[in-house]
Structures are given as C-alpha cells and as structure tokens.
Amino acid sequence: MQNICNSIARAALPECHILVAMEKMLISRTSGLNGRGFMDGQIFKLLCVVALLLFPASSLKSQTVLQPLLRDPSRADWSSLGRFSGTLTRAEFEERLMEVFDPFHALGPFLQITDSSVRVFAAPGRDELVEVRFASSPQQAKRPPVTFRTVSEISRRSAFKPLAGLRLVIEPADIGGKWGGWDDRSTFYRGYGRIQEGDLNLTVAKLLQQNLRQLGAKVFLTRSSAEPVATYDPHRLDEETREILARQIYTMPPAFYERTRNVPKNSERWFAIAKEVLFAKVIEQRSRAAKVRRYFKPDLTIVLQHDASPESARGGLVAFNRNIFFVSGAYQARELKTDPHQRLRLLSKLFENVTPTETAVAVRIAARFRAVTGDPPVRYGNSANTRTVPGGNAYVVARNLAFNREHDGPVVVTEPYFMNEPVTLQRLVAGDYRGTRIVAGRPRESIFREYANNVTAGLADAYRQTAKTD
C-alpha cells in the first residue's frame, strides 16, 4: 500500500519534498512493527490525498516547470552577458546592432555605449543590469565563450562524410496531430483535405535526420511525434494565462492578436485562444529550446517549416510558389520596448555572433532549392519586419521568429513552398514515397524527400566549401 502511495505522490508531485520527508519519517517509525506499519501506511495514504488537495499538481508544476519558462529575465540572466567582455569592438557591436538585430533603433534607450563598454539598463537610462567591455581592436578580441563551432572551426572532413563531427539540431516547427488547431497551422482546402503544417514538418525532419547521419553528423531531433515536448498539462493553464494577460501581456506572440482580432475581449473564446497560444507558441517552443540546452550542444539548429500565402488563412489557393530562408535579427520596436526577454535574447545572439554562420549555411541551402524548384524568393528585403544581411541574398533575410530567437547559437529557418499552391498541395496530399510517382500530371519525387535532400545538400555544400579553403 505504501509503495502505491509513493508512486502516486511522486508522479503527481515530482518536485514536492514534503511527502518524501513524511515517507522517511514513517519508514523510520514502522521498522519492525508490522501491525503498526499497516496503520501508518493507511495514515500515509490519507496524507497523500490531503497533500494533493493542498498542493495541486498544477500549482507545483507551475512553480517548477513554467516559472523559468515564463518569468522575465533575472539579474543573474543579465549578468551572464558579462562573459562576452573583450570579444568584440565597439564598431563591431554597433554594426551588428544597427544592420542586423535592431534596424528600427528601439534598443538604444536601454543602452549606454562608449568606446570602452556598453551598459544595459532595465529601463531607459536607469537601473543598470550589466556592463560588457569592448576589445580595443579586432586583433585584441577574444573568441566568444560559446559552445558552437563556426563553419571554419570544424576540422577538415572527408568527401564521403562532409558533415562528420557536425552537431545539428533539427526542429520540426509546430506540433501537429490533435494540436493542429492550437498551432494555428491547420487548414482545410476544398478538394484536397486538411493540411497540418506540424505533421508535414515532422515527416521532413525524420527524413533529414537519416540523411544527415549518413553524412556523419550527430543529430538531435527536438520531437519525434505529434505530441508536445512541454511536460505541463496544457488544459490546466487558466491561472498562468490570467497572470500573463494581467502582468506580462508582452509575452503573447502576434498569433494571439491575429486570432482574436474579431473576438470580444475577455470573452470565453478570447481567453481560450490566449491559453492555446500561450501553450503552443510560448511554453512549447521555450520547452524545446530548454531541452536542447540540457541535452545537446549544437553547432547549428535547422528549423523546418512550410510557407503559405495570406490567402491560405481562408483556404484560398494561389498559382505560384516561393521560397524563403530566415536568419536571426530584425527585432521589432514594439517587441524591444516592452519585452525584457526579447531584449536579452537579442543581445545574446548579437554577442554570440551567429550571423556569419547562419548566413553562410542559409545561402547554400537556398541555392539548392532554387536549382531544384526554380521558384523565386518571397520578396521581403528590407521590409517592416525583415532585413537583408551581409553576405545574404534575396532568398535569405533576418527576421525575429520564436524558434530562431529561443534556440541558442546559429539557427536557420527553412520555409520553402507555398502549401496553398495547387501542385504543391497535390504533392503534400500524396504523402511520402520512394522513387517517383505521377503527381499533377508528371513523375515527381516525394516533396518531403525533395525538401530533406535540398537541406542536406545545402549543408554539405556549406561545410565542404569551407573545408577546401581552411
């Protein structure tokens, strides 16, 4: 009986040490007293029930799992930026800031930049959080204390294993399955059926994982099923959702405002959408980044997505296809003015100097897609939410997306194909297969294998090219 209670208590309250202490006390008292031990076992069972009532699993989970995912950065988090002192000059800092990460100049009020250092403030001009000292010259700059290796730092590879030793994370965006509606990535197209991007991304991810391992890479897949990585019960988010809406509304991503545009504020539906978005777009994504941080130190993260035109929101089709690839940067002014988490992530990415690696890889992947599909790029350029990057091209732009923001180190987001283009839809509905099949009037490779093969070839090109010039 006591063992059963122990299992229940630990499963429901994994972080609660109260019951563990009770258990030890009771074991100590009942040693050698079988009859009394049975009675104490019954008492322990009762205490289990009482503890579950007094300390609900949701509240404890909130403290132990959600609190670090949803809280604003602590002073210790900000102080950690001090490790980048001496790794770049003032000129390098300002170039990265203005050209890539803060082109809309919203971070300036939170910074005090001099020739010797940059000071970061919690509010414009007050409450200093950290000071990062600049190197006096590029020659004096130290290597940043990061765990990833740039493309030129990875040892020379063989022609047969061009990715040998490379540590890669594959991030199939969204969740899919029964969570497609929470993802807001589930669309019904008349004559084709329902398309869920999370499921498409996972299919590509598994194929890409096989390809990369064959070329020698060590690969970490953030999810392997259409289920959340986050360990918290998403249906018990009422308290956390209310707290975020009341105190940290800036945590809610654009998807919340898009989905509630025509929904009465504070209505039951409005609140339900807030809970779904908080889980699928914030908790889930930050949980995956935390998982990678805990178990793997990648040189690069590849985020797999599929694109669509705005008409897809209503199940509408378009007669053309486009490809686009994103690297980190172009944080929005409204994001930086209100959200300290995004300010911290921006500075972390800037100091890590992820842009050269991201751009070098993204350009090579884009070239492979262009050669195979012939599709032009989405014409973002220097738009209201994107920026061209040094060394990039029309296919590669900086944009602040959740996945490239939350994951540490270099991240490339691949977003080819318009899912709502008729030929693409037919290929998606056809599913994965080997060889070729007649799809949309002619023999075609599985679109999932085409996607995975293009990413694989682009990665091999990027690292093989570097090996030749080392």
Residue with tokens 């509240």: 59
What is the model's pLDDT at position 125?
A: 86
CA distance 10 to 174: 30
Confidence of residue 13 (pLDDT cuts 50, 70, 90): very low
Q: Report d(CA 45, CA 29) in Å as an integer.
A: 16
Spatial contact of 370 and 464, defined as CB atoms under 8 Å apart: no
DSSP structural state of residue 307: B
Rounded Cα gap, residues 183 and 323, in angstroms: 22
User: Is residue 376's pLDDT more than 80?
Assistant: yes
DSSP E strand stretches across 114-190: 117-123, 126-133, 167-172, 186-189
Domain 167-469 bears CATH identifier 3.40.630.40 = yes
Its pTM stands at 0.86
**DSSP code at position 377:** B
Residue 57 confidence (pLDDT) above 60: no
Provide the pLDDT confidence category of residue 375 given band limits of 50, 70 and 90: very high
- Cβ(85)–Cβ(143) below 8 Å: no
**pLDDT average, residue stretch 196-215:** 98
List pLDDT tens digits, range 146-173.
999 999 888 666 778 999 999 999 999 9
- Cα–Cα distance for residue pair 297/49, rounded to 1 Å: 41
Between these two residues, 336 and 1, which has the higher pLDDT value?
336
Q: Which two tokens stand for residue 70?
A: 């949803």
Strand-by-strand arrangement of the 218-221 sheet: 218-221, 167-172, 300-304, 411-416, 323-327, 396-398, 387-388
Q: What is the DSSP annotation of 398-421?
A: E---HHHHHSSS-EEEEEESBTTS
CA distance 47 to 45: 5
pLDDT of residue 27 exceeding 50, the answer is no
**Backbone conformation region of residue 216, classed left if phi is above 0, alpha if psi is from -120 to 50, else beta:** left
Q: Are 201 and 223 in contact (CB under 8 A)?
A: no
Angle between helices 355-373 and 447-469 (to 10 degrees): 130
In angstroms, the CA 92 to CA 6 distance is: 57
Rounded Cα gap, residues 296 and 290, in angstroms: 10
What percent helix, strand, coil does the chain show, rounded to 5? 50, 15, 35
Q: What is the pLDDT of residue 464?
A: 85
- The domain spans of the chain are 2-55, 72-140, 167-469
Counting Cα atoms < 13 Å in the Cβ hemisphere of 330 gives: 21
